[in-house]
Amino acid sequence: MENNRTPILELKDVKTYFRVPRGVLKAVNGVSLTIYKGETVGLVGESGCGKSTLGKTIMRLYRPDEGQVLFEGKDIWSYRKKEKKEYTKNVQMIFQDPYACLDPLSVVSDIVAEGMKIHKMYSKAELENRVLELLGMVGLNRDHASRFPHEFSGGQRQRIGIARALSLEPKLIVCDEPISALDVSIQAQVVNLLKRLQKEMGLSYLFVTHDLSMVRQISNRIAVMYLGSLVEIADSEDIYSKNYHPYTRALLSAIPIADPAVERERKRILLQGDVPSPVNLPEGCNFCNRCPYAGEECRKKKPELRQMEPGHLVACHRAGKI
């Protein structure tokens, strides 16, 4: 399994900066990550850590200041016109807010059909059948096709967004917090749907979220991001059982467990303060001002990702010693 995986998307030291009045906002600050075919990578971090910017950099919406984004081996910024169009078909996005991402003036069938029309994928007659087929795949039916977005609940809207993403038969879908606006029981429905579709169509997902407990249900590997850099990458289960980075540990320990008896016994690592501003980053490790283990070295030198075990990367000077 390990050897015959083919990468679909490779990020090589990607840096996406924004110029703001106070200086340079380093939203994504040197991220390297590979997503393989048929795999789900969970990208986890708090708000403002740059995870959505990274998602949009992959979507070719932001041009990275440095580094490369390779899709099936080719740099997406070296594309010619035709390839560019092809790329917008191969990579799709599912958005966070199911209320904001659907055109309120279009009916569902038009929303789902729009991409296919642009790419001239079907004739008019075929198109209608295809829309109904897609709606069926995500658990909606014929009656829903002629309704407007406001007639649906949050979970149903998210399904419309998923149908729209699937319509172009993409190879990779960037899911930007697809479930955080939904109720718990509906979240489970959407996650199960995404898992089923992946099995049927061999999709790859980048699942961007701040919810460490839900992302575990769908991801093969998880990357933890803090202030623009990845701090830990590992197989999904290893993040929960054999984690090394103090930030990963704090993040896990902050998640409440739905059981009062367990909670009473649990010791919690409470992080002090908020995430610092990404405009003026600390010189050493980004996490050092909130880290309970930070030492002299951490304040001076930025740690690089290094391998602790096969496939398990950690960016921490003190990993393994704490």
Partner 1 sequence: MENKKILEVRDLVVSFDTFQGSVQAVRGVSWYLNRKETIAIVGESGCGKTVTIQTVVGLNPKKNGSVKGGEVLFEGKNLLDLTPKQMRKVQGNQLSIIFQDPFTYLNPTMTVGEQIMEPYLQHHAVSREEARQKAIEILKLISLPSPEENMKRYPHQLSGGMRQRIMIAMALICSPRIVFADEPTTALDVTIQAQIIELMNSLKEKIDTSIVLITHDMGVVANMADRIYVMYAGQIVEHGDSDTVFHRPKHPYTWGLLNSVPRLDKKVADDLYSIPGTPPDLIEPPKGCAFAARCPYAMNICRTSQPPRIEFEEKEHYASCWLNHPECIRRRGPVRREGASDGK
Return the residue of 61, 100, 118, 254 that touches partner 1, per CB under 8 A. Answer: 254
For the CB of residue 215, give the shortest distance to partner 1 in the complex, in Å. 9
Return the residue of 13, 151, 169, 237 that touches partner 1, per CB under 8 A. Answer: 237
d(CA 103, CA 110): 10
Task: Find tokens 């309970």 and name the residue.
Answer: 292
d(CA 192, CA 181): 16
If binding is defined by CB under 8 A, does position 30 make contact with partner 1?
Answer: no
If binding is defined by CB under 8 A, does position 225 make contact with partner 1?
Answer: no
If binding is defined by CB under 8 A, does position 21 make contact with partner 1?
Answer: no
What residues does 234 pair with on adjacent strands?
222
Q: Which is nearer to partner 1, 9 or 179 (CB)?
A: 179
If binding is defined by CB under 8 A, does position 61 make contact with partner 1?
Answer: no
If binding is defined by CB under 8 A, does position 260 make contact with partner 1?
Answer: yes
d(CA 199, CA 194): 9
Torsion sign, CA atoms 199, 201, 204, 207: negative
If binding is defined by CB under 8 A, does position 257 make contact with partner 1?
Answer: yes
Contact assessment for residue 191 and residue 207, using Cβ atoms and an 8 Å cutoff: no
For the CB of residue 258, give the shortest distance to partner 1 in the complex, in Å. 4
Binding mask 179-198 for partner 1 (x = CB under 8 A): ----xxxxxxx-xx--x---
If binding is defined by CB under 8 A, does position 274 make contact with partner 1?
Answer: yes
For the segment 133-172, give every residue that binds partner 1 (CB under 8 A).
Answer: 153-156
End-to-end CA distance of the chain: 32
- Identify the CA nearest to 302 among candidates 47, 33, 29, 24: 29
d(CA 79, CA 217): 35
Return the residue of 19, 78, 270, 296 that touches partner 1, per CB under 8 A. Answer: 270
For the CB of residue 213, give the shortest distance to partner 1 in the complex, in Å. 5
- Identify the CA nearest to 223 among candidates 231, 214, 215, 213: 231
Contact assessment for residue 319 and residue 307, using Cβ atoms and an 8 Å cutoff: no
Contact assessment for residue 88 and residue 82, using Cβ atoms and an 8 Å cutoff: no
For the CB of residue 280, give the shortest distance to partner 1 in the complex, in Å. 15
Q: Which is nearer to partner 1, 38 or 48 (CB)?
A: 48
If binding is defined by CB under 8 A, does position 222 make contact with partner 1?
Answer: no
d(CA 31, CA 226): 11
For the CB of residue 257, give the shortest distance to partner 1 in the complex, in Å. 6
If binding is defined by CB under 8 A, does position 235 make contact with partner 1?
Answer: no
If binding is defined by CB under 8 A, does position 255 make contact with partner 1?
Answer: yes
Phi, psi torsion values for 102, nearest 5 degrees: -115, 135
- Identify the CA nearest to 116 among candidates 167, 174, 172: 167
Q: Which stretch binds partner 1 (CB under 8 A): 17-25, 86-94, 118-126, 270-278?
A: 270-278
For the CB of residue 195, give the shortest distance to partner 1 in the complex, in Å. 7
Q: Which is nearer to partner 1, 59 or 214 (CB)?
A: 214
Q: What angle (nearest 5°) sits at the alpha carbon of residue 41, between those of residues 40 and 44?
A: 135
**List of residues contacting partner 1 (CB under 8 A):** 46-47, 153-156, 183-189, 191-192, 195, 210-214, 216-217, 236-237, 240, 250-263, 268, 270-271, 273-275
